[in-house]
Amino acid sequence: MITQQPFGRTGHMSTRIIFGGAALWVATQDEADRVLDLILEYGINHIDTAPSYGDSELRIGPWLDQHRKQFFLATKTLERGYQGARDEIQRSLERLHTDQIDLLQLHYLVKPEEWEVAMGPGGALEAAIEAREQGLIRFIGVTGHDVPIARMHMRSLERFDFDSVLLPYSYTLMQNPEYAADFEALLAVCQERNVAVQTIKGVTRRPWGDQPKTHQTWYQPLTDQTAIDHAVHWILSRPGIFLNTAGDMTVLPKILDAAARFQAAPTEAVMQADLANQEMSPLFV
């Protein structure tokens, strides 16, 4: 059984594992239906997708016709200006076959110049606030990755009272003292304000480098079940955070299996052994 906890102050009890819709980037409808049926079997009740995830919204929408009430539904916008974001929100509503999105997130808001546009007058945030006032969305979040993202999320929270943040979190990445310090500072603020904290890239092995890509993820994921167990259990041992699943249909069942068997955190020695045995390296430096 995958446990649930409050998703910030939204009032929703979300499973600690959130389905990452990027796994459906190039899926057929039959493939998507099987994947979504699987997350239903595991009791997952929160879906996170984005218009930039290929065909993901197009595949989730038809399946949601029969299951919409069972899921907290999140999507994103990469647009930085008001009109572009407004139009993208409307397209997402149509593609997802719904009249209301639970969480709309300003996507990958890490570059300072883009941040200024999105958060300023005539920016994407204004479109999100308007959509919330109109009942088209319920909550507003912000997402991103790269080493500076925790600091940028702090800046975003100073400008606007976001309901959620999303950023990378893994044992490997937290070996970076700069990132670890920023993450802990952000987490403390989010806990104080009851802002939901979603984490990504939890089962990253290393960048692809020159190796041929064998999975949909833009990084090389862990594939060994034991190593995935350790990575997932290490994350879930931290109260108050959520783990979004990797963007690959073949890795997804292993993450769900690991989460369903979670009992306790692996030891430091076990995690250090995985770093060496799996030849893991940071995705962001």
d(CA 32, CA 40): 12
Catalytic residue at 53?
yes
Angle of the 225-236 helix axis to the 268-277 helix axis, nearest 10: 140
The catalytic position among 53, 108, 169, 179 is 53
Phi, psi angle pair for 5, to nearest 5°: -155, 160
Is residue 264 one of the residues assigned to a domain?
A: yes
pTM of full prediction above 0.85 = yes
Beta bridge partners of residue 74, listed in sequence order: 48, 103
3-state secondary structure of 77: strand
**What pLDDT sits at residue 1?**
83
Is residue 25 one of the residues assigned to a domain?
A: yes
Burial of residue 220 (number of CB atoms within 10 Å: 0-12, 13-18, 19+):
buried
**What pLDDT sits at residue 145?**
94
**What pLDDT sits at residue 285?**
84
**What pLDDT sits at residue 284?**
87
Structure tokens at 24: 């459906």
For the segment 32-56, what is each residue's pLDDT rounded down to a tens digit? 999 999 999 999 999 999 999 999 9
> What range defines the domain where residue 37 resides?
4-277
List the chain residues with pLDDT less than 70: none
Is residue 284 one of the residues assigned to a domain?
A: no
For the segment 182-222, what is each residue's pLDDT rounded down to a tens digit? 999 999 999 999 999 999 999 999 999 888 999 999 999 99
How many independent structural domains does the chain possess?
A: 1
CATH code for position 90: 3.20.20.100
**What pLDDT sits at residue 273?**
97
Phi, psi angle pair for 252, to nearest 5°: -50, -50
The C-alpha R_g of the chain, in whole angstroms, comes to: 18
Is residue 78 one of the residues assigned to a domain?
A: yes
